[in-house]
Chain A
Amino acid sequence: MAGLELLSDQGYRLDGRKATELRKLQARMGVFTQADGSAYLEQGNTKALAVVYGPHEMRGSRSRTLHDRAVINCQYSMATFSTAERKRRPHGDRKSTEMSLHLKQTFEAAVMTQLYPRSQIDIYVKVRVGLTLHLVRGIIAEIDFFVIVHKHVSIVFQQILQSDGGNYSVCVNAATLAVIDAGIPMRDYVCACTVGFVDETPLADLCYAEENGGVSSLALALLPRGGQIALLQMDARLHQDHLETLIEAAMTACKGVSKVLDEVVRQHLQEASVLTGE
């Protein structure tokens, strides 16, 4: 009942990591052909798929056009099979609306929107994946189809396929790769990471069990090179004395994430240039 031991006396967490260690992070860019940019990212068991369309002309209501920059539109959704309990997650519920808003704010800070005035960057959140698909490849096929149907709406489209904690940060990381894949200029990578606070020790990159284990957690999105914080979010109670150490830990973790993302991008570039070079 009460209290899994989140951090053992030997300094191990539930899954065998130490306090500062991140989960295994794997990513692939350019998974869709139809989209302008796309990326698939796994952080531990949390898997996310991000798709970017645009920039393109404003669609829908033209009144929202900004004459000096582009509008970014984000949409966040969760697959029904993404957690241990299967349940329908209709879009527009409060959780995903909030998440969408956070993503939007994050990317408004990072994407150089002023380069594309008057273009519309709609960010819709669309959730409905009805099929249970275990293979990533299969999911991609399904989503491809889905995307074609709804093509007229989305610019950034992303989806949590399996959730094992740290949804927000995984979304951000996947979307960053997708935006890069789309060739939209950004100030820097946006790297996000959650940190929790247990026994006066900050734990980097929480997994699902830790998030639900009564840890006060904090999500932080960082532009690592300049060290600017794009978003900082926290709902739990925490003594203000600890906040600084927690942010410090989160920033270190984000920098770790950025290294991995950078590697992925470089590798993708290498592959792409080899292909186009032929």
Chain B
Amino acid sequence: MIKTERVLHLKSCVGRKLRVVREHYLRERVPCCSSLCQADCVNDGKLLPGDLTHYVVPDVAVVVDYLEILEFRELQGIIFTQTACQALQSKNRRYYKRLQTLVKDPRHDCVLFANEFQKYSYCPREKGESQEKWQTRCVYSAAVWYYNHLAGMMNIVMITEDPEAVDQFSSLTSGVYVISVQDYLQSFWSDLQAAHELFSSISQAQQETEGDDGEKEFPEHLPAEVLEAGIKSERYIQGTLNVNKHRAQNEAFVRPKNFSTKSTDLTWDVLVYGRKNRNRAVHGDEVVVELLPKNEWRGRDTALTDGDEKTGEDNESTPLPTGRIVGILQRNWRDYVVTFPTRDGIQSQSRNSQRILTIPWDQRIPKIRISTQQAEALQDHRVVVRIDSWESTSFYPNGHSVRVLGRAGELETEVQTILLENCIHILPFSDAQLREMPVNSLEKPWTVDPSEVAERRDLRDSRLVFSIDPRGCEDVDDTLSVRKLPNRRLELGVHIADVTHFVKEGSLTDLEARSRATTYYLADRRYDMLPAILSADLCSLLGGADRYAMSVLWELDAESLEVQEVWYGRTLIRSSYQLHYELAQALLNGEQVEVAELANLGPQEKGSKLAQLTEALEMLTHVARHLRAKRDRGGALELEGVEVGAQLDEERNITALVPRQPLEVHETVAECMIYANHWVARKIQEAFPNQALLRRHPPPQQELFNQLVDTAKAKGFTIDTRSNKALAASLDRAVDPQDPLVNRLFRMMATTAMSQALYFSTGAHPQDQYYHYGLALDRYTHFTSPIRRYADIVVHRLLTAALHMQSGVVSGKAPASNKEVEEMAHHVNSKNRAAQAAQMRSTALFQCLFFRERDPQTDPCCVADAVVYSIRDNGVLVFIPEYGARGPVYLKNKEGLVVVAGQDGSCDWQGGTVRKYPDRITTTSSCGTSTFKLFDHITVRISVHSSTCHADRLNLEVISNKPHHSAKSQQPSPQGRSQLVKEVVRQNEEALAQEKTARRPKLSKEEREFRQSKTPSLYSILEEIRELALMDLERASRLPATTA
């Protein structure tokens, strides 16, 4: 037992002042986490390097106020004291969490020292001493302790904001320097400009808040106990605030946190209307709302708006529960990108205070007031800011600037903005991380380790392994094999790159990959999760090279294709062919094609090899069809994502936009991967019933299908949404033979109604929630792409641990606990969401760039065919199949003019009225009446609505209510030969007629399964051409899928 000593602690609890005696144990051995330690401290984890000039011990006030400066990675050797941490915890929990991650992050050079548990650095609080003084004294004594503990080998600098402390302590101990933050930055980091700027911006923001005083703009928030009691008694409702993007000024919704509340009328979100009722809550905050009396309830606006204020809106739908925010439980402020207004905007404000209202890029965020000296220089720039506070006396929140991104409208700035707004922070891989990587160069080629060969099952000679990927793919993480076994069985194999062999748990690369969680694909670039040496070389299952793999091998009955046996394990493979989809499909169709791997062989040999490969492909297709049919019986959904690929010529210029050709082989590969994922999910769930990482797709909320059902009714179809099987079947029936787009639109709407598929830990959910709705599988996970998804790496580790457990080998480390896995799942989910959002935004950005350089009046590209898919009060929502874009079309503008179509279909603006019906909208004017029905084809002109503060948007204007003349050729309805073949086979399988209009992306995750490498760097070309001011690129893809 360790010698302990008891000390008194005074503490007053909530309510009455109480004198509580707490024990406090001190010990002599508290790890110092320094590599200079002479006293053999038990240091595990991070160590401060010994080759620094000094260590920094920040005072409590410094940690509380200037934590952001301490977050700079350039600042090394920071020792956070426990005293400071506790103070931060009680003041600002959000920053406390940041401090915790900072201390855990091995890339930052900082440690936490438990000074209050150290016998010699602890000083009890004296009678009458103020808390601040005591804290400063504690921090100082910790600094002194460090100096003595390291035997004077390292100078200690204590930084404080308290001038008295500087006077009092600075000359007390030699080697321990006490200076202010400003002095510290100036004398030690004079060249770190960013830190200086941040410092001045924070300190200015602080002075501002001190001087703030005035009338109350908002009611005060209720104290936390009242809120908690109110939530418990169900008087208040707790939830997350969601601001309506299109009516950010007024409309916001609070989604109640637990639906289990007894009051049944709360199945829908609570509307918070107006600025006053929102009471300083910002989008994403966790808030507490109080319901208003029923007579004050309001409906939501259904008119289309630009996000500008609209008053006197009388066309409202049925009233929703409406409430006002009474308190905020947890602020969820992040870094925001804002734009400084132009000069005239500044002048209108008071000139000497230099307080400026900046406009956030995200419309849902209110304007942020910051004070800066650089307003002149920064106008029209995009800047990252953080919100500090929002007093009830202020109309806007106060913030401070962190760093400048660049001028608005520039490509680089915009891309950075997108990343930041989605909370994606990517720094290049550090040297330390790259040093961990194995080498593979011409001089030192990487070879297979003989000891690994002994441990792994060698499949190099026994199986014909091949990969099928998009053309030009670098990171091949899945390969397939199939062969006939003598005992009337088939053996199907899926071999996945063994990333976990190279990325050891807890290594720097692992940590980095974990924090990235996925590879980010933007329209013009990508950010890899793993360093290139792994993702494009050693882990990539390239043709003709020996590679490590994790394999799943099934033995199937040759007739019934039922699984007889499954084998999981680590293997050694050599991929014989690196095919791409088109080539594989051509082989299947029996066309004469050139396979690169066989180019050098004689015709005889070539023929036999080709026959072998084709046979394997056919066998694979046969199996995949069977698997697919089986899943269809279970109710798998086929949903529509709009996908348009860009075709490139040799110089990598985009020459045309082609809808991606749906090939059967896409589906074959996908089916095998789904199968592998499913079986791995089964394995790890059985081995670790409480801590396996699986992926579930919750069934959608029925009310979200309302739009789909109503729209379909207008067209005369009924959509049954009760189960996934019924939905799939009714979607298949809802086909208009004249217009294949109708079915596509239905599927698209069904997709938007779906909930997101999520990773989760099996210990955190009951087993009946494991179901994957879209794929109709009871258990599912991600296993097949460890190069670009961190979840797969986790699953690989779990599978390895399960195999060890099975064979009785004691593995070194226990697998992660349920809590850790659940945390990981949350992290990966949020990162995936961010990655998806960033991807969508960046395609939208490029879409806008494409149209910005064109004159909407003359360029034929800007006129396109569009289909009406939803009716609103003053316009319609349309879908443009050519560009895969969706957007609103106004039939009534702000001047009150309405669109009226003439005899030839051309439209112009005239005074009149608009009437909305469930399935059509009519405009009436003196010249006559025109009607726009659901699923009408109209012609629209596309232009760009640009704005300095926000993202550019596409502006659609109706020019004719007739279909666009060139539209016919654009329809992607290739009922090709392969389609028909497949059709027939399928009917044999289960008589489930499937009509394919496009390749099937279930969810955007699966869809990315096949689009790994976007090799052509559009970005570089765009940059060059932008300089010439000659945009001659075609770029179009999906627009954000969500509206409102």
Distance (whole angstroms) from the CB of B64 to the closest CB of chain A: 17
Beta-carbon contacts of A144-175 to B below 8 Å, as 1s and 0s?
A: 00000000000000000000100000000000
Beta-carbon contacts of A188-227 to B below 8 Å, as 1s and 0s?
A: 0000000000011000000101000000000000000000
Q: Which of A5, A21, A22, A24 has a CB less than 8 Å from the CB of B6?
A: A24
Q: Does B268 contact A (CB under 8 A)?
A: no
- Asked if residues A45 and B23 are in contact (CB atoms below 8 Å), the reply is yes
Distance (whole angstroms) from the CB of B851 to the closest CB of chain A: 50
Q: Does A10 contact B (CB under 8 A)?
A: yes
Q: How far is the CA of A187 from the CA of B193 in the complex (A)?
A: 74
- Asked if residues A45 and B21 are in contact (CB atoms below 8 Å), the reply is yes
Query: With A5-B89, A85-B18 given, is the CB distance from A16 to B817 under 8 Å?
Result: no
Beta-carbon contacts of A1-29 to B below 8 Å, as 1s and 0s?
A: 10001001110101111000111100000
- Asked if residues A16 and B18 are in contact (CB atoms below 8 Å), the reply is no
- Asked if residues B1 and A209 are in contact (CB atoms below 8 Å), the reply is no
- Asked if residues B116 and A16 are in contact (CB atoms below 8 Å), the reply is yes
Report A-chain residues with C-beta under 8 Å of the C-beta of B20. Answer: 84
- Asked if residues A23 and B104 are in contact (CB atoms below 8 Å), the reply is no
Q: B24-32, B249-257, B448-456, B596-604: which one contacts chain A?
A: B24-32
Beta-carbon contacts of B582-609 to A below 8 Å, as 1s and 0s?
A: 0000000000000000000000000000
- Asked if residues A16 and B117 are in contact (CB atoms below 8 Å), the reply is yes
- Asked if residues A84 and B19 are in contact (CB atoms below 8 Å), the reply is yes
- Asked if residues A24 and B4 are in contact (CB atoms below 8 Å), the reply is yes
Q: Does B114 contact A (CB under 8 A)?
A: yes
- Asked if residues A16 and B24 are in contact (CB atoms below 8 Å), the reply is yes
- Asked if residues A17 and B25 are in contact (CB atoms below 8 Å), the reply is yes
Beta-carbon contacts of B8-26 to A below 8 Å, as 1s and 0s?
A: 0000010010111111111
Report A-chain residues with C-beta under 8 Å of the C-beta of B763. Answer: 239
Closest residue to A24 on the B side, CB-wise? B4
User: Total interface residues on B, using CB and 8 Å?
Assistant: 31
- Asked if residues A15 and B25 are in contact (CB atoms below 8 Å), the reply is yes
Q: Does A241 contact B (CB under 8 A)?
A: yes
**Which residues of chain B from 659 to 702 have a CB within 8 Å of any chain A CB?**
690
Report A-chain residues with C-beta under 8 Å of the C-beta of B104. Answer: 9
Report A-chain residues with C-beta under 8 Å of the C-beta of B23. Answer: 15, 23-24, 44-45, 164, 207
Distance (whole angstroms) from the CB of B257 to the closest CB of chain A: 14
Q: Does B103 contact A (CB under 8 A)?
A: yes
Q: Which of A14, A16, A199, A239 has a CB less than 8 Å from the CB of B27?
A: A16
Report A-chain residues with C-beta under 8 Å of the C-beta of B114. Answer: 8, 10, 12, 16
Closest residue to B689 on the A side, CB-wise? A241
Report B-chain residues with C-beta under 8 Å of the C-beta of A92. Answer: none
Q: Which of A16, A84, A209, A256 has a CB less than 8 Å from the CB of B25?
A: A16
Closest residue to A199 on the B side, CB-wise? B819
Closest residue to B228 on the A side, CB-wise? A1
**Which residues of chain B from 108 to 146 have a CB within 8 Å of any chain A CB?**
112, 114, 116-117
Q: Which of A21, A84, A200 has a CB less than 8 Å from the CB of B18?
A: A84
Report B-chain residues with C-beta under 8 Å of the C-beta of A15. Answer: 22-25
Q: How far is the CA of A85 from the CA of B17 in the complex (A)?
A: 10
Report A-chain residues with C-beta under 8 Å of the C-beta of B103. Answer: 9
**Which residues of chain A from 25 to 66 have a CB within 8 Å of any chain B CB?**
44-45
Closest residue to A241 on the B side, CB-wise? B690
Q: How far is the CA of A85 from the CA of B16 in the complex (A)?
A: 10
Q: Does B2 contact A (CB under 8 A)?
A: yes
- Asked if residues B4 and A12 are in contact (CB atoms below 8 Å), the reply is no
- Asked if residues B1 and A21 are in contact (CB atoms below 8 Å), the reply is yes
Q: How far is the CA of A207 from the CA of B103 in the complex (A)?
A: 28
Q: How far is the CA of A207 from the CA of B1 in the complex (A)?
A: 17
Distance (whole angstroms) from the CB of A237 to the closest CB of chain B: 14
* Interchain Cβ contacts under 8 Å between A and B, 8 examples: A1-B228, A8-B114, A9-B112, A17-B4, A21-B2, A22-B1, A45-B23, A164-B23
Given contacts A1-B228, A9-B104, A241-B690, 15 further A-B contacts (CB under 8 A): A8-B114, A9-B103, A16-B25, A16-B114, A16-B116, A21-B1, A24-B4, A24-B23, A44-B23, A84-B13, A85-B16, A164-B23, A199-B819, A200-B819, A239-B763
Interface residues of B (CB under 8 A from A): 1-2, 4, 6, 13, 16, 18-27, 31, 89, 100, 103-104, 112, 114, 116-117, 224, 228, 690, 763, 817, 819
Q: Which 4 A-B pairs have the closest CB atoms?
A: A16-B25, A16-B117, A15-B23, A84-B18
